[in-house]
Amino acid sequence: MKKLSVLLAAVTLLGCAGANKETDVKRLGFEAEARLLLARLTLVEMVGEMKQITLEHFGMSGPDGRFVLDEAKLRDGIVQHHLGSILNCGGQARTVQNWQEIITKMQEIATKETRLGIPIIYGIDTIHGANYVLGATLFPHNIAMAATGDVALMERTGEIAALETRAAGIPWNFGPVLDLARQPMWPRVFETFGEDPYLASVMGAAYIQGQQGKDLSSPVKVATCMKHYLGYCWPYSGQDRTPAYIPERQLRQWFLPPYRAAVQAGTVTCMANSSEINGVPVHASKYYLTDLLRGELGFRGLVVSDWADIENLYKREMVAKDRREAVKMAVLAGVDMSMVPEDYSFYDTLLQLVQDGEVPMKRIDEAVGNVLRVKYALGLFKDPYPRKDRAASVGAPSSRQVNLRAAQEAMTLLKNENHVLPLAKGRKVLVTGPCANKLSVLNSGWSTTWQGDQEQLYPPEKNTILEAIQEKLGQENVACVEAVTFDKEIDIAQAVTAAAGADVIVACIGEPAYCETPGNITDLAMTEPQLRLVRELAGTGKPIVLVLVQGRPRVIRPIVDLAQAILMAYVPGLEGGQAVADVLVGDVNPSGKLPLTYPKYSGVVWWYDHKASEEKGGNKFDPQWEFGHGLSYTTFTYRALRADASEMTLKDTLPITVEVTNEGDRPGQEIVQLYLSDVVASVTPPVKVLKRFQKIELKPKEMKVVRFDLTWDDLAFIGLDHKPIVEPGEFKAQIGQMSVGFTARDDRR
């Protein structure tokens, strides 16, 4: 039936929502306080609030790993240059005591030695826990948290990361990352919540809620920063910070929804995408940073540049002839604060631009107003100092328990033939591979150091995969031969020999630690030494269990059939080794589901929400494993999928129910996923789109009825005019292998 197009009257989470501007502004507030203070600031003080300098500029690490401030440099920055913000860790994580000293000194100078005593706002990357606070809880990275499908757990990890960050005296976290994993080569896939906008929206909003709570001035909450707005994650080449070519419709269908959800969740700051979209650097785009972000999404917070990305406008993107033009472009586009971050060049240049009338005071007022409102919301004017009594909250045992549960729930069992898993106690096991006995691979980037590759800086008491398996099965039953590094063979023959004495082989392969551009690869295939190790071990005839420790889905097609079981561990954090062992021996029943489409080939990129043409007319949708895939040690069956009605109209909700039964003899968790298909649409419809998910726990033989209420908004997609529309007609709701149809009818005609 030809569908009539109706403009969507309501809003939906999936990229078609108009943020509630009032709520967002109310949530940040402090308009009056900021206005009063603004009126008292001189131009140099205002421009000072718009720049952010990195900690490295104000001191250095001492021999004991403590950061030692150069007070003269610090005073020069804060008093002479009116510096409003400082960031980063100075090269490595610090103790909470050291952080408290650093922040206290900064705030003392800022509040007691400057004319108006405006406090500093300190920003840091708390990407998977307070990763720059020694002893903090390092959670699974976002890609693994997405695999848990556990929204409450996501919020809880956000709460803990916030309290441990604020304990250090740091009130601003450059997170969450709301990019999508749609280019599997991209080195920051592990920082994302996967390929789906809805999953990223829900997890991102939960994280923001956990981090910010209801009162940003609380000593256990921090300001969040949705990043990297937007489209940074889809570089055509797969190389970090290279051009993305994103049609507007696609931008609004995929990449915008998580940011809209974050604004609705109340995030108070935003970091711009380092790179460009269709030839337009986001840092220079008024359309992206003002019209879309503030005009359409209703964002009222502070926009900060990414690292040196205003400078990059004339050094890398080449859209500005010099610094003066770059600063003018970025500030007029909507950047409120420049993460310069090495010197005062931005300050001097912007001062000159304002004095020359090339940047209007109105823009400066806006930018500084946004900075001040965030500082007021954080309570920094009332009390900018760290709370000594909060230091003890870092790395609490209760937080470790949450971290272990998160890592356990992230584990995604991709294959398990002949029930080779769980491993029976008493079996002889050979553990091998470059990920078997390291903590750095379990944590990767943003872990104690930027690259996360300093093995010696990780807490020695934490278990690697090998150590955890040895604890479970007994050292005498577990041998280990690393056999290869990521890019070199060491001694595969030794592993083959050792396999003779084993009943089963656990091959831990994947990726080393990396962060951002240093993590670029030119081939998505798993590295050859690791593939060869598995091939040689397969020749022994012993069953092989693959454990994949990786930030992105490396292609393992050549060895998939050689392994009887495959466990995706992602980058599971400090408790990841323990969690892998817990699952391998069956102390934990795996429940994770892939938050991305796992590629079978390096040369083709498929997503779960692909188009019919990709699986018709001779084309084949043929990933290694589909988005949403994940096995359990028990069996869940789905029955009686029902839609409460055969049609729905604008004002209706349509309950969809399904019975889920645990047929096995052990309890288990299952992430029930509801997908929707728009059968015919004016834009080629995806074969399915994730609309809801719910994680349930079932005892043996227990059945639960799971209900999802679809609304008219869920039927929306971004139409040819780049606006959200719902086109009445046939739809299909799918859960598991079942589907039920219904009709959307426009009852206003």
179 binds ligand GLC (CB under 6 A): no
The nearer residue to ligand GLC, 88 or 448, going by C-beta atoms, is 88
Beta bridge partner(s), residue 229: 272
Residue 449 CB, nearest approach to ligand GLC (Å): 12
Q: Which of 49, 306, 467, 609 binds ligand GLC (CB under 6 A)?
A: 306
Tokens representing 606 are 């498929």
Q: How far is the CB of 178 from ligand GLC (least distance, A)?
A: 11
Binding residue (CB under 6 A) for ligand GLC from 186, 190, 229, 307: 307
Minimum CB distance to ligand GLC smaller for 241 or for 691? 241
How far apart (Å, rounded) are the C-alpha atoms in residues 75 and 58?
A: 9
Q: Which is nearer to ligand GLC, 224 or 578 (CB)?
A: 224
Quick one: 90 or 553, whose CB is closer to ligand GLC?
90
Active-site entry in 125, 306, 609, 678: 306
Assess whether 306 carries a catalytic annotation: yes
Q: How far is the CB of 186 from ligand GLC (least distance, A)?
A: 12
Contact call for residues 724 and 735 (beta carbons, < 8 A)? no
Closer residue to ligand GLC, CB minimum distance, 228 or 252 = 228
Collect all residues with Cβ–Cβ distance below 8 Å to 594 and sequence separation of at least 6. 147, 194, 412, 414, 568, 625, 626, 627, 628, 629, 630
Minimum CB–partner distance for residue 183 and ligand GLC (Å): 16
| Residues numbered 274-293 forming contacts with ligand GLC, rule: CB under 6 A | 274
Is residue 702 a contact partner of residue 662, using CB atoms and an 8 Å limit?
yes
Phi, psi of 172 (to 5 degrees): -140, 120
The residue among 88 and 463 lying less far from ligand GLC, judged by its C-beta, is 88
Least separation in angstroms between CB 104 and ligand GLC: 22
**Count residues contacting ligand GLC (CB under 6 A)?**
8
x/- contact string, 55-94, with ligand GLC (CB under 6 A)? ---------------------------------x------
Question: What does the DSSP assignment read for 16-64?
Answer: -PPP-HHHHHHHH--HHHHHHHHTT--HHHHHHHTEEEEGGGGEEE-TT
Applying the rule CB under 6 A, the residues between 219 and 248 that interact with ligand GLC are: 227
Q: Is 174 in the site for ligand GLC (CB under 6 A)?
A: yes
Residue in 675, 593, 597, 576 with CA at minimum distance from that of residue 636 = 593
State how far the alpha carbon of 9 is from the alpha carbons of 358, 614, 647, 650, 676, in Å: 41, 32, 19, 9, 20
Answer for the pair 227, 278: CB distance below 8 angstroms, yes or no: no
* By CB under 6 A, residue 482 contacts ligand GLC: no
- Nearer CB in complex with ligand GLC: 181/660: 181
Beta bridge partners of 657: 642, 707
- Tell the residue number behind the tokens 């441990």, with chain if given: 164
Task: Give the sign of the dihedral formed by CA 629, CA 632, CA 634, CA 640.
Answer: negative
Residue 619: CB atoms within 10 A of its CB come to: 12
For ligand GLC, give the closer residue by CB, 228 or 692. 228
The answer to whether 211 touches 161, Cβ cutoff 8 Å, is yes
Q: CB of residue 267 vs ligand GLC: minimum separation in angstroms?
A: 14
Of 111-130, binders to ligand GLC (CB under 6 A) are 125
Q: Least Å distance between CB 156 and ligand GLC?
A: 23
In whole angstroms, what is the distance from residue 157 CA to residue 138 CA?
10
648 phi and psi angles, rounded to 5 deg: -140, 155
Contacts of 472 (CB under 8 A, 6+ apart): 425, 581, 582, 584, 585, 587
Distances (CA, A) of 119 to 49, 116, 164, 405, 435: 10, 9, 21, 38, 44
Footprint of ligand GLC on 648-687 (CB under 6 A): none
Q: Which of residues 508-527 bind ligand GLC (CB under 6 A)?
A: 516
Q: How far is the CB of 30 from ligand GLC (least distance, A)?
A: 24
**Residue positions annotated with a catalytic role:** 306
- Which residues contribute to the site for ligand GLC (CB under 6 A)? 88, 125, 174, 227, 274, 306-307, 516
